[in-house]
Each structure stands twice: as structure tokens, then as C-alpha cells.
């Protein structure tokens, strides 16, 4: 691969991670149906930003996959897994960030008359979003764990990034066993910021070490 490929994919990981961080900082807290309608524009903007970041991140992970490609091709499995994770994130952002606000806004002027109908629909949307969030979290952890093991075994990246990935995965596992609510705004922010830091670091290393590849 040409060095420019690793530079561009490294920049993609860095840019994608920064977009994730901005999205989570701007992400508003949920609430009642009336509150969702009130902040629907902010919800739409933040989730649109999240969706836009996903193909950028995926392109970056493609470069990372090629850069640390091992004889067992486990990095390809990691890439497939992270793709699965990002698809789940896309649908979660689509349902909860674009579809739901758009749908509820159509009843903004007659909310009281339709509240009994809208509540079950809103709860169903949140249930779908929660399920997709868990798919994203689990698949993301599996992918990062695979990438981290490959990094430690192949010695193509500094080992600390591999240990960091394993630490983040262990944190998620411990959180799962201790009933930590990853799907709450605070819990999701903590997890997402951790993942974003790993992606940002990987992007920087991909950019730097890619220059050394002949």
C-alpha cells in the first residue's frame, strides 16, 4: 500500500473520533415527549453528525485492517465486526435521532389529544434504540479486542495501544457484570469517549507508522 493510503485513513480515524466527541458533547438528554419536540432540532443535528462520521470511521478502520494484516487474517474479522457495530449505530441514530423527532413534530399542535397513542410508539422506539446500542457496544468491544490482540502479537504498532484496547474491553465487561447502565446518556458518553480516544490514538499511530511502510 502507498504511504498516502495510510495517511488518509489515519486522518479519517482522527476526524471520525473528533466528530464522535463533538456529537456526544452536544447530545441532549432525553425526557418527555413535549421535551423531545422542543429540542428536536438539536437532536436531529447531533444524530446527523453522528451518522456522517460513520463512513469516515469505517474508511479509517479499513486502513488499520490492512496496516496490521496478519497471517490468520483476524484483522479482516475485526473489520467485519466493527462494520456490524457501526451499522447498528447508524440505525440507532436514524430511529432515535431522525425518525422519532420528525414523527413527533407532526403532533406538536395536538399533543394532548394523541398522548395515549404517542407514548407506546415512543417507548417502542426507545426499546429499539436500546437494543441497537447494546449491539453497537458489544460488537465494538469485540472488534477492538481483536485489533488489540493482533497489535500485541504482530508488533506493527506500539504495544500500549493494544493494552489500552484490552483495558477498555475489560472496563465494559466489568460494567456489564456490575449492572452499569451503558445505554443511559452518562453511561453511553463514558463508553463512547473511551472508544473515541482509542480510535483517535489508532488514527494518529496509523498516520505516523504508515510513513515507515515500504
Residues 32-56 have pLDDT tens digits of 777 788 888 888 888 899 999 999 9
Please classify residue 86 by burial: count the beta carbons closer than 10 Å to its beta carbon, then call 0-12 exposed, 13-18 middle and 19+ buried.
Answer: buried
Do the beta carbons of residue 195 and residue 137 sit within 8 Å?
A: no
What local confidence, expressed as pLDDT, does residue 143 receive? 95
pLDDT for res 108: 75
Entry pTM = 0.86
Q: What's the half-sphere exposure (Cβ side, CA atoms, 13 Å) at 2?
A: 3
> Which residue has cell 460513520?
54
Compute φ and ψ for 31, nearest 5 degrees: 170, -150
Band of pLDDT at residue 57, cut at 50, 70 and 90 = very high
Please tell me which residue, 5 or 147, carries the higher pLDDT value: 147
Mark 137-157 as b/e (b = at least 16 C-beta within 10 Å): bbbbbbbbbbbbbbbbebebb
- For residues 47-65, b (16+ Cβ closer than 10 Å) or e, as one string? bebbbebbebbbbbbbbbb
Q: What is the pLDDT of residue 214?
A: 47
Amino acid at each position: 500500500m502507498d504511504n498516502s493510503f495510510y495517511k488518509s485513513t489515519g486522518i479519517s480515524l482522527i476526524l471520525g473520533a473528533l466528530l464522535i466527541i463533538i456529537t456526544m458533547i452536544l447530545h441532549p438528554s432525553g425526557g418527555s415527549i413535549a421535551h423531545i419536540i422542543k429540542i428536536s432540532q438539536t437532536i436531529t443535528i447531533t444524530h446527523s453528525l453522528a451518522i456522517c462520521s460513520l463512513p469516515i470511521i469505517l474508511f479509517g478502520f479499513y486502513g488499520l485492517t490492512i496496516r496490521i494484516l496478519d497471517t490468520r487474517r483476524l484483522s479482516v474479522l475485526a473489520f467485519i465486526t466493527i462494520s456490524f457495530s457501526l451499522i447498528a449505530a447508524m440505525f440507532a441514530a436514524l430511529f432515535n435521532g431522525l425518525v422519532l423527532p420528525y414523527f413527533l413534530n407532526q403532533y406538536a399542535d395536538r399533543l394532548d389529544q394523541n398522548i395515549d397513542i404517542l407514548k407506546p410508539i415512543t417507548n417502542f422506539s426507545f426499546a429499539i434504540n436500546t437494543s441497537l446500542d447494546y449491539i453497537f457496544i458489544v460488537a465494538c468491544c469485540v472488534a477492538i479486542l481483536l485489533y488489540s490482540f493482533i497489535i500485541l502479537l504482530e508488533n506493527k504498532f506500539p504495544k500500549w495501544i493494544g493494552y489500552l484496547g484490552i483495558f477498555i474491553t475489560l472496563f465494559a465487561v466489568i460494567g456489564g457484570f456490575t449492572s452499569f447502565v451503558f445505554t443511559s446518556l452518562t453511561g453511553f458518553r463514558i463508553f463512547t469517549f473511551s472508544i473515541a480516544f482509542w480510535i483517535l490514538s489508532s488514527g494518529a499511530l496509523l498516520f505516523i507508522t504508515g510513513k515507515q511502510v515500504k
